[in-house]
Chains A and B, each alone.
Chain A
């Protein structure tokens, strides 16, 4: 039975620089990088040494706590650099790509004939496991657990994010193959949500529970769907996975190869011709950024969308999970009487001499300026307007700040990921770092309770 989700609370942030629906092939990158910060909470153990030759899909390192969990190279080439930070923590692995690519080939797995253990082992060995995330804690799923359900959001509502219907077109076979795997991993359902008024290639898949979603952002966030369909209680486990990563899993099942290829949206007002590029995980951003042209010098490159992405740079690399790269102007300038003059060119959730409410269709060109200084929580009722989950957002944030584990549990921290608080962070008058607060709260809860 399909259950439709209508989200009422939220805010659509219309920005300049939506990627035009045409795809080019990005120039091949010389160097590919795996950024360890993409894998939250993972302690890597290296399997290959600097200077070693690796094939595409060959394991570079494994998870120290779960030794079967492999992290593989997106391309074949030479591991030229292991970039380390404080206390020799590994930050980045850089691979100089071969001209001729060679792949590790895995034997095909008979999904229906294999045991769950075998499937899990296969996914871990091939490097596809890290695509599966779990809640609570919003980390890579623990393969020793069994989720009560798996959630996939096939609907993107985040500002400037890649249109999933577009990038998934023609990938029905891979998606179906991956779904066939996922249904083996849970005794519960595999929930797939798609936009109500769109024609998603995911809508026709077998073995899933389809949900049609409508409403403003965060209607597309998987956390919203979980909360509306089957919220997580203490002790429960839910896995999530993003559809483009499903394609990689599907291809592994169909061909036995880890294919890191992915269609990425290059968007944002600092890009001259925002559009889609076909490229690979870990590629240099420069390989497609300059092909589209940039406006000015002083802009920020973001791995992901503007609300949840991580800060990168013009010589940065495409993240492991990202299907969007955004470039927007830096806002590191003062604005004369910026706090009291009428504002027409920025988005506001109030009408305090801010006029974005008059122009719901207008596309805004926002910068990275905070539009004010960090303050204690003062205004109330503001987050609730953009937060559709059955959770008290400010109370939960405060519980995380004063580290009350009982309250964090009771107020629903198990159900959320930092991205669920991206919109409350955007509208926050006190400019509090909501996502960081939630991340730290989750880490604490995991450390103390596990």
Chain B
């Protein structure tokens, strides 16, 4: 009897017991279950939730790998200056870079999965339902959207908050209102604001070193880890142009949250998700349109001379409208977070509105946010809240059509009366 048989025996033995969900979660991870259909459709399609989630993870793996190298690349570049005559093999895909990523990014990933899945398992055991797969994607999203120097304990606290308050209290996967990964991100941002903003959290050791220098150390070099948006928010667009080219932004060789920078890989991931029919192209496309429209409006405002170089909004408002898509977390948010089917709009028409406003509001908040030049996660969370309302009005449209039909309904009377009369006639 092989592994399959042994596992089957254990499953039968512990059926209905308290720890069964925990065992089943691991069992079904190894083997697709032996469950069969009852009545209804006797055959079922090949996809299940695990496969769906796995597809999203596959679309995220290239981003994760890039982020591991970028962690080191940003660190060393901040110390030594960006290399001239950049070559991918010599300057980016190096062991030194990878090592920084391995000691910084992988622990974030491990804490995110470890803590998050632990909470999921505990809830599954307490509530006696199977462990649902939602966290598989959340777990990889979380380390990619936080600053690299986020302390692990902070991440752990945030993950517990995000999974419990963001998801489990609503009933678990499929029932939550807010995107759990973004709830975790928002918790970090609002609970530890000094940690999560400013220009010292985006590059490994930037904060440590500046603290050491403040404390009087003289043997360390300071690291500036300003993001593109950070430069722009301080109206230092010209200085930024010296450091980062547009191609840098597109390829992702810029500082930022761990995995948000590689627009090219995110684009490929998005195309893969659209092709595999896992994520909604409607949301992605309309969000891109929304952000372009808002960006254009801002550009136009600058062009009209309503906002001048003295304004504190000038830097971000004059930024070419389409470039908003390749800096910050906009592309990442659109592809991987806005498309979350549970928290997004659920009707096809609603997805257009939902996506459009995410793009539109992301750029708006990004420009006007006084504390922090980014708005994607706030925009998505806001639209998460409004998604049911959007759906409500879309569904109402359908209901209205049905109600309208009611006016011309052909409602024929029951002929039981006529029959009774007939029967009476017979008996007479």
Interface residues of A (CB under 8 A from B): 13, 15, 116-117, 142, 144-148, 159, 187-188, 231, 233-237, 300, 302, 306-311, 326, 328, 330-340, 343, 346-354, 356, 366-382, 384, 390-392, 394-395, 410-412, 418, 422-423, 425-431, 433-436
Given contacts A187-B412, A302-B42, A351-B277, contact A334 B4 (CB under 8 A): yes
CA gap between A313 and B43 in the complex, in Å: 16
Q: Which 5 A-B pairs have the closest CB atoms?
A: A372-B48, A338-B32, A376-B174, A346-B46, A339-B50
CA gap between A180 and B194 in the complex, in Å: 83
Q: A349 near B174 (CB under 8 angstroms)?
A: no
**Cβ-based interface call for B147 (8 A):** no
**Cβ-based interface call for B344 (8 A):** yes
Q: B405 near A233 (CB under 8 angstroms)?
A: yes
**Cβ-based interface call for B87 (8 A):** no
Interface residues of B (CB under 8 A from A): 4, 7-8, 28-52, 54-55, 130, 132-134, 171-175, 275-278, 280, 282, 341-342, 344, 346-348, 351, 391, 395, 398-399, 401-403, 405-406, 408-416, 418-419, 422
A-side binding surface: helix, strand, loop or mixed?
loop
Q: B51 near A372 (CB under 8 angstroms)?
A: yes
Given contacts A144-B415, A394-B346, contact A371 B44 (CB under 8 A): yes
When distances are taken between beta carbons in the complex, the residues of chain B under 8 Å from A356 are 46
When distances are taken between beta carbons in the complex, the residues of chain A under 8 Å from B414 are 142, 144-146
When distances are taken between beta carbons in the complex, the residues of chain A under 8 Å from B351 are 381
Q: A411 near B175 (CB under 8 angstroms)?
A: no
Q: A422 near B277 (CB under 8 angstroms)?
A: no
Out of B38, B132, B419, which one reaches A117, CB within 8 Å?
A: B419
Q: A368 near B36 (CB under 8 angstroms)?
A: yes
Q: A333 near B30 (CB under 8 angstroms)?
A: no
Q: Which residue of the partner chain A has the closest CB to B344?
A: A380
CA gap between A193 and B202 in the complex, in Å: 65
CA gap between A335 and B7 in the complex, in Å: 12
When distances are taken between beta carbons in the complex, the residues of chain B under 8 Å from A231 are 402, 405
Q: B52 near A376 (CB under 8 angstroms)?
A: no
Given contacts A187-B412, A435-B39, contact A376 B44 (CB under 8 A): no
Shortest CB-to-CB span from A185 to chain B, Å, is: 11
Q: Among the interface residues B40, B173, B402, which one has the most CB atoms of the partner chain A within 10 A?
A: B40
Shortest CB-to-CB span from B243 to chain A, Å, is: 40
Q: A330 near B36 (CB under 8 angstroms)?
A: yes
When distances are taken between beta carbons in the complex, the residues of chain A under 8 Å from B278 are 350, 352, 379
Q: A426 near B43 (CB under 8 angstroms)?
A: yes
Given contacts A146-B415, A233-B402, A391-B398, contact A379 B52 (CB under 8 A): yes
Given contacts A340-B50, A426-B45, contact A350 B276 (CB under 8 A): yes
Q: A352 near B405 (CB under 8 angstroms)?
A: no
CA gap between A91 and B419 in the complex, in Å: 32
Given contacts A144-B415, A434-B40, contact A339 B398 (CB under 8 A): no
When distances are taken between beta carbons in the complex, the residues of chain A under 8 Å from B134 are 378
Q: B36 near A369 (CB under 8 angstroms)?
A: yes
Shortest CB-to-CB span from A65 to chain B, Å, is: 12
